[in-house]
């Protein structure tokens, strides 16, 4: 049965809104450890997610094949009835979108022979292991091709075909009883050309070797410079999550009631933009079929926007921003970031370093997380340098950095001009989606380091 | 039939061996926002992963919701053909006698309908609303029934049904400009262990308590970690540091330290895959090897890593039943349930908190560094202890120690045993460096 006919059936049952999302994903996973192929896996995934709305309650069910679709639709409606609650009632009158979008790149990754992909990984291993202290190289290449169609009862009908490729290197170095590791990745939308010629393993190896002579960071508050990778994770954790509209609606975000208020100095603007060409967190239509657009969360230090999906846009009386995303169509979409970054400033790194009498240059990101309700966040730097009298002196080890959302942006003293986007994966409510974090270098008046 | 068809197809293409890992899951998931039910979902998925070998060449193919198995078996063969040899690969897992255990399947979870699940969850949500200061209660409640089947050309043929529940509750509190948050979570294989009202009440209490917060400076003081703060720390010693793959590749701080003393004599750390009703328990691991009990740290000495079939055979040893797998991937090595055994270090709740000045950490989301064993993270939910009494909640507090310091300088282990993820044990106390921006 056609999806349009199913939509009609859903409305006949009594649904106020019906949405059907069909998804096919083709994935190849390659992993080379110490120059040996340890994983060569490929596969296909198929799902149809059916979501219905009834008196403020959502129902969601998944079909494993076209044959199961009608049962899934009935399930979904029954579930929506169970969740219904007059106090949450919503008017389902959102804008609708029609169109298609395709990013396959110059050379779609699934058409590239496995032998050529493996050769790339062997090359990476060779480059990394040329350093004598390198003990273990772990290099992976994951490419996926996701084909989706989303139709809903308001007339939305969008199709997307997106190729995503990411290469990652995790390298361990060892010397005189000390072991250290570093991670580097490169990824984006398109074909194999996205990662060809990259030097991720070599860079990870150099940093792992460099870390062998590192000392623990001095604990406590310090003046700090964050490199673009770390500053990107910082803005994602400290601000991005708090700007997700569902947290705002639920009163769980420190940014609830902050619209129009200053949250940082005029030099700070924070953007979420899924339309940036080729970035790992990009898309044309979100997972509710809403056309994505660039929007400012913070402009010149003032909070001017939240990220929304259909429901949240209604509850906050804002436009849908195209930030509904799901890990796969076996999960309902949630409000999520895409490519979230701090916009360029006008400082050079040299100017920042010369400003600091004593402080820490922290770089690289391992991970981060946030508590939007309390407004505290944590992010973990891969390493750092002690800065003394405008010079980088001692290499520092991995360290956790903690801060409070509403304080830390006000503490930004300088924004660099060297914007850089880093691919990653963001988790929320058990769902992981591809994103990029981005920023230029930042100089921050005071950050708390958790060193030993 | 999917598994058999896939294995047969791979063999008939010319594979020397093939193994299928088939998992069927179905369940219910409920999400609550602002104290009321928002979305009710049901899910159903079939995953099939096939591993094929041609001599020492290995390939995997997988499918989610496949209509048949043969084409996946054929693709696994093609992937093996395209792969270079792995000289460390010895064989696909052989069949071993599996003692099937009780305590993995709860009929109540398997048969529960959405209405009953909703009543259970809402009891938790209601219990969290302790005062008008609670502005929001959100969370997710998931019930899962899964059937796992492993079938191979070497003669492995095992299957098992398991159930699990997973609940997570998040509470936000606000009183004027003061903000607080609390959360609580629980998981297991049997619903009887879940006390929904208690779960909600505790989350609400933490949110209210955290409205008043202070910051501290840099100090070296006793830190008490509750079980929920340990789920990423104690299991890490087994799951990551004593993981045979990480040791063979030299990634772990425990590399080349087998037989060495790494902790105090009173301390043993054990991996046990056969404790009824725990989330990490099963009769067999993800390669069909029977699960068991591995003394990883015995009386302070690093005795044994945990192995899957590949890492064990590479060293001419037996698998410890610790293969862990997503059907899309090559099996890895993972802990089942990790326990601390240190009877002489046991402390009552009063003894545990009996410090002049210390920190009680209810939760941290951080994990140690594999290569160095160093932990540097944030006490996400924590309270200051003064003269044995809990005082205010702490903001922006970092904690740092090494896993070796933890094992050597552990001061006490609480009797408040809880199952959290793959940790099964009580609170612990040790001296650690805490760091904040200074008193406020």
List pLDDT tens digits, range B55-112: 999 999 999 999 999 999 999 999 999 999 999 999 999 999 999 999 999 999 999 9
The token duo for A116 is 């050529």
For B177-186, b/e burial (b = at least 16 CB within 10 A) is eebbbbbbbb
Average pLDDT in the A179-193 region?
Answer: 96
What average pLDDT does the segment B156-167 reach? Answer: 98
Arithmetic mean of pLDDT, B161-189? 94
> In the predicted model, is pLDDT for residue B126 greater than 70?
yes
Average the pLDDT over A150-179 and give the result.
Answer: 97
Query: What pLDDT does A374 receive?
Result: 83
Work out the number of other CB atoms within 10 angstroms of the CB of residue B1.
Answer: 8
Q: pLDDT by residue (tens digit) across B407-430?
A: 999 999 999 999 999 999 999 999
Span A117-123, average pLDDT: 97
Closest by Cα among B425, B428, B421, B366 to B397: B366
pLDDT tens, residue by residue, A235-255: 999 899 999 999 999 988 999
How far apart CA A268 and CA A452 sit, in angstroms, is 32
**Mutation target among B27, B34, B41, B436 for the A interface, most CBs of A within 10 A:** B41
- B216 and B379 Cβ atoms separated by less than 8 Å: no
% residues pLDDT > 90 (chain A): 92
> In this complex, which of A250, A332, A398 lies closest to B376 when CB atoms are compared?
A398
DSSP state of A426: E
CA pair distance B343, A362, nearest whole angstrom: 43
Q: How confident is the model at residue A108 (pLDDT cuts 50, 70, 90)?
A: very high
Q: How does residue B439 score in pLDDT terms, banded at 50, 70 and 90? A: low
Beta carbons of A334 and A325 less than 8 angstroms apart: yes
Structure-token match 């250290």, residue found: A180
Query: What does the pLDDT read at residue A21?
Result: 98
> Are A221 and B59 in contact (CB < 8 Å)?
no
Between CA A276 and CA A263 the distance in angstroms is: 25
Which residues, 6 or more positions from A56, have their beta carbon under 8 angstroms from its beta carbon?
Answer: A83, A84, A85, A86, A87, A88, A89, A90
**Residue A114 C-beta-side C-alpha neighbours within 13 Å:** 21
- What pLDDT is stored for residue A412 in this prediction? 96
pTM to 2 decimals?
Answer: 0.95
> What is the pLDDT at residue B1?
87
Interface of B with A in 332-371 (CB under 8 A): 365-366, 369-371
Closest-CA distance, A78 to chain B, in angstroms, reads 9
Nearest CA in chain B to A55: B38
Strand partners, B126: none
Token reading at B147: 């059937």
The helix (run of H) or strand (run of E) holding residue A6 is helix A3-13
DSSP, res B241: I
Q: Is A400 on the interface with B (CB under 8 A)?
A: yes
Give B177's pLDDT tier (boundaries 50, 70, 90): confident
pLDDT for the residue numbered A372: 81
Q: What is the mean pLDDT of chain A?
A: 95
Q: Is the pLDDT of residue A78 over 90?
A: yes
Say how far apart CA A374 and CA B211 lie, in whole Å: 9
pLDDT number for residue B120:
97
Residues of A in Cβ contact (< 8 Å) with B136:
250-252, 373
Helix (H) or strand (E) holding A232: helix A228-235
Distance CA A19, CA A7 (A): 7
Task: Say what the pLDDT of residue A1 is.
Answer: 53
| C-alpha–C-alpha distance, residues A264 and A333, integer Å | 31
**How far is A276 from chain B, CA to nearest CA, in Å?**
30
Residue B373: pLDDT over 70: yes
Cα(A128)–Cα(A164) distance, integer angstroms: 24
Residue A418 is classified by DSSP as: -
Alpha-carbon Rg for chain A, nearest whole angstrom, is 23
Residue A159 pLDDT > 90: yes
Residues A348 and A280: beta-carbon distance below 8 Å: no
Mean pLDDT, residues A373-400: 92
Q: Inter-chain contact A376–B395, Cβ cutoff 8 Å?
A: yes
Question: CA of A58: which chain B residue's CA is closest?
Answer: B39
Q: For residue A184, is pLDDT > 90?
A: yes
Mean pLDDT of B119-144: 96
For residues B279 and B204, what is the distance between their CA atoms, to the nearest angstrom? 25
CB-based contact B65:B75 (threshold 8 Å): no
Across the range B350-355, mean pLDDT stands at 97
Contact B42 A61 (CB under 8 A): yes
Q: What is the pLDDT of residue B30?
A: 98
The rounded distance, in Å, linking the Cα atoms of B335 and B355 is 33
- What is the distance between the alpha carbons of residues A26 and A38, in angstroms, rounded to a whole number? 20
State how far the alpha carbon of A256 is from the alpha carbons of A40, A191, A373, B37, B90, in Å: 47, 40, 9, 21, 58
> Does A210 score more than 60 pLDDT?
yes
Residue A111 φ/ψ, nearest 5 degrees: -90, -10
The C-alpha of A105 sits at a distance from chain B's nearest C-alpha, in angstroms, of 24
Contacts of A220 in chain B (CB under 8 A): 217-218, 435-438
Mean pLDDT value of segment A211-228: 95
On the question of pLDDT at B282 being above 80, the answer is: yes
Q: Is the pLDDT of residue B440 over 70?
A: no
The pLDDT value given to residue A433: 97
| Rg of chain B, C-alpha, whole Å | 24
Residues 103-142 of B with CB under 8 A from A: 114-115, 118, 135-136, 138, 140
| DSSP secondary structure code for residue A192 in this structure | G
């Amino acid at each position: 049965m056609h999806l349009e006919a199913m939509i009609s059936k859903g409305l006949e049952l009594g649904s106020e809104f019906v949405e059907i999302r069909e998804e096919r994903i083709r994935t190849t996973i390659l992993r080379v450890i110490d120059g040996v192929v340890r994983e060569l896996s490929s596969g296909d995934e198929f799902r149809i997610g059916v979501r219905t709305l009834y008196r403020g309650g959502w129902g969601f069910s998944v079909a494993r094949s076209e044959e199961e679709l009608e049962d899934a639709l009935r399930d979904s409606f029954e579930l929506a009835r169970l969740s219904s609650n007059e106090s949450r009632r919503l008017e389902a009158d959102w804008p609708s979108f029609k169109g298609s979008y395709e990013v396959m790149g110059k050379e779609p990754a699934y058409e590239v022979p496995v032998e050529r992909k493996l050769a790339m990984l062997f090359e990476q291993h060779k480059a990394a292991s040329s350093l004598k202290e390198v003990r273990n190289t772990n290099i992976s290449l994951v490419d996926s091709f996701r084909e989706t169609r989303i139709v809903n009862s308001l007339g939305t009908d969008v199709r997307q075909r997106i190729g995503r490729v990411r290469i990652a290197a995790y390298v361990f170095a060892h010397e005189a009883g000390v072991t250290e590791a570093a991670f580097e990745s490169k990824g984006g939308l398109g074909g194999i050309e996205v990662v060809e010629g990259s030097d991720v393993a070599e860079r990870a190896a150099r940093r792992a070797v460099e870390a062998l002579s590192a000392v623990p960071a001095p604990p406590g508050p310090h003046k700090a410079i964050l490199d673009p990778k770390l500053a990107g994770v910082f803005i994602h954790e400290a601000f991005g999550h708090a700007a997700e509209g569902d947290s705002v609606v639920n009163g769980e975000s420190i940014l609830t009631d902050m619209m129009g208020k200053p949250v940082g100095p005029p030099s700070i603007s924070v953007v979420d933009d899924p339309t940036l060409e080729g970035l790992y967190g990009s898309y044309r239509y979100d997972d509710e079929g809403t056309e994505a657009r660039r929007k400012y969360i913070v402009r010149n230090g003032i909070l001017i926007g939240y990220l929304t999906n259909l429901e949240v846009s209604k509850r906050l009386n804002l436009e849908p921003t195209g930030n509904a995303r799901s890990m796969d169509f076996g999960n309902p979409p949630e409000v999520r970031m895409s490519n979230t970054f701090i916009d360029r400033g006008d400082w050079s790194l040299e100017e920042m370093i010369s400003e600091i009498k004593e402080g820490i240059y922290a770089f690289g990101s391992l991970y981060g997380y946030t508590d939007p309700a309390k407004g505290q966040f944590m992010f973990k730097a891969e390493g750092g340098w002690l800065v003394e009298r405008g010079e980088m002196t001692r290499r520092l080890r991995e360290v956790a950095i903690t801060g409070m959302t509403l304080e830390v942006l006000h503490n930004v003293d300088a924004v660099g001009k060297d914007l850089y986007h880093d691919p990653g994966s963001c988790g929320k409510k058990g769902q992981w989606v591809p994103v990029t974090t981005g920023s230029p270098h930042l100089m921050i008046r005071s950050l708390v380091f958790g060193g030993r | 039939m999917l598994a058999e068809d896939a294995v047969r197809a791979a063999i008939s293409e010319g594979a020397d061996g093939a193994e299928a890992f088939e998992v069927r899951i179905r369940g219910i998931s409920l999400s609550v926002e602002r104290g009321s039910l928002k979305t009710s979902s049901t899910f159903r998925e079939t995953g099939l992963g096939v591993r094929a070998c041609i001599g020492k060449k290995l390939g995997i193919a997988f499918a989610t919701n496949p209509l048949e198995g043969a084409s996946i078996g054929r693709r696994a063969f093609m992937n093996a053909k395209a792969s270079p040899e792995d000289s460390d690969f010895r064989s696909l897992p052989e069949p071993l006698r599996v003692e099937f255990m009780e305590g993995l399947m709860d009929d109540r979870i398997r048969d529960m309908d959405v209405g009953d699940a909703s009543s259970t969850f809402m009891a938790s949500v209601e219990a969290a609303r302790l005062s008008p200061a609670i502005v929001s209660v959100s969370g997710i409640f998931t019930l899962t029934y899964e059937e796992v089947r492993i079938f191979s050309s070497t003669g492995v043929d095992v299957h098992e049904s398991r159930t699990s529940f997973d609940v997570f509750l998040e509470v936000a509190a606000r009183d004027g400009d003061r903000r607080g948050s609390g959360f609580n979570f629980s998981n297991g294989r049997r619903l009887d262990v879940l006390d929904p009202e208690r779960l909600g009440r505790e989350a609400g209490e933490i949110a209210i308590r955290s409205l008043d917060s202070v910051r501290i400076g840099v100090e070296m003081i006793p830190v008490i970690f509750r079980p929920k703060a340990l789920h990423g720390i104690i299991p890490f010693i087994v799951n990551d540091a004593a993981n045979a793959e990480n040791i063979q590749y030299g990634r772990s701080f425990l590399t080349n330290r087998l037989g060495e003393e790494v902790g105090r004599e009173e301390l043993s750390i054990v991996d046990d895959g056969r404790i009824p009703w725990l989330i990490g328990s099963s009769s067999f691991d993800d390669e069909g090897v029977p699960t068991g009990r591995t003394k990883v740290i015995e009386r302070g000495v690093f005795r044994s890593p945990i192995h899957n079939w590949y890492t064990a055979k590479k060293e001419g040893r037996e698998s410890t039943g610790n293969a862990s797998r997503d059907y899309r991937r090559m099996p890895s090595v993972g802990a089942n349930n990790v326990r601390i055994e240190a009877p002489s270090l046991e402390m009552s709740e009063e003894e545990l908190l009996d410090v002049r000045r210390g920190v009680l950490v209810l939760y941290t989301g951080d994990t140690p560094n594999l290569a160095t064993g160093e932990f540097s993270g944030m006490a996400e939910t924590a309270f200051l202890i003064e003269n044995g009494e809990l005082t205010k909640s702490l903001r922006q507090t970092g904690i740092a120690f090494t896993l070796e310091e933890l094992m050597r300088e552990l001061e006490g282990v609480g009797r408040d045993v809880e199952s959290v993820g793959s940790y099964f044990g009580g609170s612990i106390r040790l001296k650690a460096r805490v760091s904040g921006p200074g008193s406020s």
